[in-house]
Amino acid sequence: MAGQIHKMVQQIISQKSKGNAVIANSVRTKMYLKGIAVDKYTASSPDDAAIIQKVREIGKEFGVMV
Amino acid sequence: MAIKTISIKGTDSQDMARQAHDTLAGFQPKLLLFFASSIYNNPGAALKAAFPDSEVIGSSSHSEYCNTGFTSGSVSIMAMDAGSVEDICVRVIENIGSDPDLRPTLEEMHDYYGGVDAVLSDYERCVGIVLFECGPKVEEVFMDRLGTATDLLFVGGSSSTADRGESLVYAGDRSYSGAAVLAILKTVNGYDVLKTQSAHVFSERKLLVTKSNMRSRTLYEFDNRPCGEVYAEVLGIPQEEIQNYFVCNPLGVVAGDEIFVRTFNEIQDGGITLHCGLPEGTEINVLKIGNIVEDTQKALDEVITYQPAGVVNFNCLYRTLEILNKNQVESYCALFGRYPSIGFSTNGEAFFGHINETSTILVIK
């Protein structure tokens, strides 16, 4: 499997920002500062269980279930 | 005039507040934001007594900026009236070292403006200010929590001190240690927030933080190797010389076009302590420091293409010391003298997260 981290990150950004581009950019920056290098993950990035768990927890903090 | 900025030196806080009252005669501020040298006792209480109908918030400071001036032993005040700020909601979070839940307070602040949806629909006008008392050293954790509790932008910095006096933040007539003052301003004409760090990527090589202690702000490993060894490798220097490069080559989290600087403190306990914790999993670059005046001018001119009502500059104490050292104070202050502005030398800056060796700037339109 590949691309799950990318998919989860994009879901968090889109659900949290609800289409507001400024908030979307803010969420991306906040994720970087939480230790997720957003742009590093693409649709072909391998699924890393530890990172997936971390992204899931970040989603929960933002009130987004992924 | 919607914003007035003044710099005052008083014999004590009461004298300072009296001078402020006289200087601002006829002006009815809704908010007084001030940065007071730590030599003053209870400056917030004195200002609140002189301006009972105004919200009063502030921080102790090492040194102060006001318009073209740079001083120590003074109080810089920005007074904002209804022409620039429609409303203000101030809350104080005490005991920030205990990792308090910020959600109830932020909900309360959102509700003050009619709820979170109402606040977000006015996103272009609503902006937050955060003033930390620097003692607990938990700003990065606080900003992380704040960023999940609200989508509003918060900008600010951490208190500093002069040769004597206490590090404190102020709200109303009270002084606080170990606390953060939060204010949400509903501006009349909007705002801009910018930050400039005069730091640039030295090496494109990404270093992964594989072992760190966020709470103690200690870094142990990059890429599963001792961080000092990898840092020396990137700079191409002997490992025993790394301390000589700490100031000129800090670390940075690069998020798109934005750099969030983390500066070194000292080698300790098998690691290196920083002035801001780095969570494991973070990718960083080694940076190099540039010309503060040139980079600040570029940053200001790119964003402030209009005549602002007022500008608040949270400028890192490291940067103040650097411009003093390089005899650049006059040219630095001239940049801010183009606008009604105040600022102070901070012990850390806030914008999305806690940052070092940076200037975070709030521009009120």
pLDDT tens for residues B73-119?
A: 999 999 999 999 999 999 999 999 999 999 999 999 999 999 999 99
Measured between beta carbons, the chain A residues lying within 8 angstroms of B353 are: 30, 33
Q: How far apart are CA B214 and CA B140, in angstroms?
A: 9
Answer whether residue B197 shows pLDDT above 80. yes
Residue A33 in any domain: the answer is yes
Biggest distance spanned by C-alpha atoms of chain B: 64
Q: What is the pLDDT of residue B138?
A: 97
Q: pTM of the entire structure?
A: 0.96
Helices (H), chain B: 13-23, 43-50, 103-112, 116-121, 139-149, 227-235, 292-303, 317-325, 329-336
- Domain range for A39 is 4-61
Q: How far apart are CA B182 and CA B108, in angstroms?
A: 12
Q: Do B280 and A22 touch (CB under 8 A)?
A: no
**Mean of pLDDT values over A34-57:** 95
Any residues with CB less than 8 A from the CB of B192 and at least 6 apart, and which? B303, B304, B308, B362, B363, B365
Q: What is the pLDDT of residue A65?
A: 87
**Mean of pLDDT values over B333-361:** 98
Any residues with CB less than 8 A from the CB of B99 and at least 6 apart, and which? B138, B141, B145
pLDDT cut 90: percent of chain B above it: 98
Give the mean pLDDT of chain B. Answer: 97
Which pLDDT tens digit goes with each residue over B222-266? 999 999 999 999 999 999 999 999 999 999 999 988 999 999 999
Q: Which two tokens stand for residue B24?
A: 């601002």
Q: What is the pLDDT of residue B129?
A: 98
Least Cα separation, residue B220 to chain A (angstroms):
16
Residue A66 in any domain: the answer is no
Q: How far apart are CA B24 and CA B223, in angstroms?
A: 57
pLDDT cut 70: percent of chain B above it: 100
Q: What is the pLDDT of residue B36?
A: 98
Biggest distance spanned by C-alpha atoms of chain A: 32
Beta bridge partners of B207: B284
Residue among B123, B147, B279 whose CB faces A30 most closely: B147
C-beta of residue A34 within 8 angstroms of C-beta of residue B144: yes
Q: How far apart are CA B67 and CA B70, in angstroms?
A: 8
- Give the number of beta-carbon pairs within 8 Å between A and B: 56
3-class state of residue B338 by DSSP:
coil
Note the ipTM here.
Answer: 0.94
User: Would you say how long chain A is, in residues?
Assistant: 66
Tell me which residue of B255, B208, B204, B251 sits closest to B357, measured CA to CA.
B251
Tell me which residue of B286, B355, B285, B283 sits closest to B319, measured CA to CA.
B355
Q: Do A22 and B123 touch (CB under 8 A)?
A: yes
Q: Domain total for chain A?
A: 1
Q: Do A36 and B281 touch (CB under 8 A)?
A: yes
Q: What is the pLDDT of residue B42?
A: 97
Answer whether residue B159 shows pLDDT above 70. yes
Least Cα separation, residue B120 to chain A (angstroms):
10
Least Cα separation, residue B180 to chain A (angstroms):
20
**Mean of pLDDT values over A15-27:** 93
Q: What is the pLDDT of residue B267?
A: 96
Best mutation target among B151, B191, B354, B356 (most A Cβ atoms within 10 Å) is B151
Best mutation target among A32, A40, A54, A57 (most B Cβ atoms within 10 Å) is A32
Q: How far apart are CA A37 and CA B256, in angstroms?
A: 10
**Mean of pLDDT values over B279-290:** 96
Confidence of residue B269 (pLDDT cuts 50, 70, 90): confident
Confidence of residue B287 (pLDDT cuts 50, 70, 90): very high
At residue B45, φ and ψ (nearest 5 deg) are -65, -40
C-beta of residue B262 within 8 angstroms of C-beta of residue B254: no
Q: Phi-psi region for residue B188, left (φ > 0), alpha (ψ -120 to 50) or beta?
A: alpha
CA distance to B274, B280, B346, per residue, from A3 (Å): 34, 22, 42
Q: What is the pLDDT of residue B1?
A: 64
Q: Do A35 and B280 touch (CB under 8 A)?
A: yes
**Mean of pLDDT values over B17-22:** 98
C-beta of residue B204 within 8 angstroms of C-beta of residue B285: yes
Residue among B153, B209, B253 whose CB faces A32 most closely: B253
Nearest CA in chain B to A61: B148
Looking at residue A46, the DSSP 8-state letter turns out to be: B
**Mean of pLDDT values over B323-340:** 97
